[in-house]
Chains A and B, each alone.
Chain A
Amino acid sequence: RKEVEQDPGPFNVPEGATVAFNCTYSNSASQSFFWYRQDCRKEPKLLMSVYSSGNEDGRFTAQLNRASQYISLLIRDSKLSDSATYLCVVTFPRGSQGNLIFGKGTKLSVKP
């Protein structure tokens, strides 16, 4: 099982749609969780951290399920500008990966 797995997509949705991404991780010792957004040929940028109690930032909601070892990102009322690749990021106790593991990303395309 890969350390951090995401559905690569692409997810093609119309404007206004609600879309959800899931990410699973293999190491139960994982400590912190994030969602990053990456536009084409640009650097990844932090979208939001993911807390155990779940958290919301405007149209974006992130949730963590430690028992099942997955995190999710929900985007409501999708905008054209939401089109990007969304990276799931998980931190571990210090190890060979420098303690942070990236998923390969889920590509979202929002259409008019």
Chain B
Amino acid sequence: DADVTQTPRNRITKTGKRIMLECSQTKGHDRMYWYRQDPGLGLQLIYYSFDVKDINKGEISDGYSVSRQAQAKFSLSLESAIPNQTALYFCATAWYDGYTFGSGTRLTVV
């Protein structure tokens, strides 16, 4: 099994729908992150969590919310999806020797 697992891998949803992206990790790391990546824009931080009770907004948190259900689980929600949220979403965990990323969720909002 992968160290960081994201589900679903691909999702097409309609404008206005609520959608949740899930992330789980087996590395035992406290730090977890959600990023989105758009072509030519690099990785942008949405939310991050340093432990279950410590959740912080990143640079582009508007329109998103998160839930850290346990050390191993960090979910990202789009409360009312809009087309410009179409992107590749990555979850990651971190330790002092770097980050481990999940395989990504490709989300399309139509």
Contacts and interface: CB of A to CB of B under 8 A. Distances in A.
B74 interface: no
A102 to B, nearest CB: 5
A37 to B, nearest CB: 11
B94 A100 contact: yes
Contact of B56 (A8, A49, A98): A98
Contact of A96 (B59, B99, B100): B59
A87 B41 CA distance: 12
A1 interface: no
Chain B contact residues, majority secondary structure: strand
Interface in A2-20: 8
Interface of B: 31, 33, 40-43, 45, 48, 50, 56, 58-59, 88, 90, 94, 96-104, 106
30 contacts: A32-B96, A36-B98, A36-B99, A41-B88, A41-B104, A41-B106, A42-B104, A43-B90, A43-B101, A43-B102, A43-B103, A44-B90, A44-B99, A44-B101, A46-B98, A46-B99, A89-B98, A89-B99, A94-B50, A97-B58, A97-B59, A98-B45, A98-B48, A98-B50, A98-B56, A100-B33, A100-B94, A103-B42, A104-B41, A105-B42
Given A44-B99, A100-B33, A104-B40, 15 more contacts: A32-B96, A42-B103, A42-B104, A43-B90, A43-B101, A43-B102, A45-B101, A46-B98, A49-B98, A96-B56, A96-B58, A97-B58, A98-B31, A98-B56, A102-B42
